[in-house]
Structures are given as structure tokens and as C-alpha cells.
Structure 1
Amino acid sequence: MAQSTEPKASPQEATAKGGDNTKGKSRKELQQQIDENLRRVYEEALVQEVPDRFAMLLDQLRQKGTGK
């Protein structure tokens, strides 16, 4: 698949050219959609387990911090 080498237009440029991709959504509706998406991603990240390597590093740091 070939990628375009043409630079992407900024949102302001796209709107000025009539390429507004908001599909008639109000600013408030867009903000609500962004909020929902961010909340969903954050919640998904909270339930992920800490990788074993990170857990081991945290244990090592705790041991050094207590002088053991």
C-alpha cells in the first residue's frame, strides 16, 4: 500500500477548505465523545497487570530504599 507524501492539512485548514469532518456534531458532543474515549482507555489501562520485569524492578527499588 502506497502512502501519500503530501502533508496532512491541519484541522483549521481542513475546515477552511470545507473538509470539516465533524459530521454535524456540535463542539459539546465532540468533547463528550473525547471524554468517553479517554475514560475507556484509562479504565482499560487500570486493569492491565504490571509486567513481571517491572514488578521485579519495583521490588529491587523497595529493598534498596529500606536499606536491606
Structure 2
Amino acid sequence: MDDRNLTERGVDNNVTGALKNLGGKVKDAVGGLTGDSSLQAEGKLDQGEGKLQDKLGDLQRGIDRKL
């Protein structure tokens, strides 16, 4: 099990999620510019995953504040 508290894990998820979202935006844009619809779709998927991971981080940090 992870020895870090929820706030530390939440921060990690916020950062990782934000980076995944940013990378997804880049893929989406490059796919749009090059006409590569599969790269564009992959970028949109990465953006969604990144947003979810960021929300998980918010939830973890919020729970830890309440404890």
C-alpha cells in the first residue's frame, strides 16, 4: 500500500492529470492540422482521462482535509 497521505496522492493525480490533458490537447491539435483523425481521437481520449485523473486528485485532497 502507498505510505503517502491522500493529499500527497491527490497532488500527484492533479499534476499527472493536467499533464495528460495537455498532451491530449497537443495530440488533438496535431491530428487536426495533419488530418490524422485517429491521432485527434486519441488526443480527445487523453484529455478526458486527464480531466478525470485531475478530479480524482481534487477528491482525494478534499477527503484528506475533512479527516
- Asked if TM exceeds 0.5, the reply is no
Which of the pair has more CA radius of gyration? 1
- Report the TM-score when normalising by structure 2: 0.39
- Report the TM-score when normalising by structure 1: 0.39
Which one scores higher on RCO, CA 8 angstroms, separation ≥ 6?
2
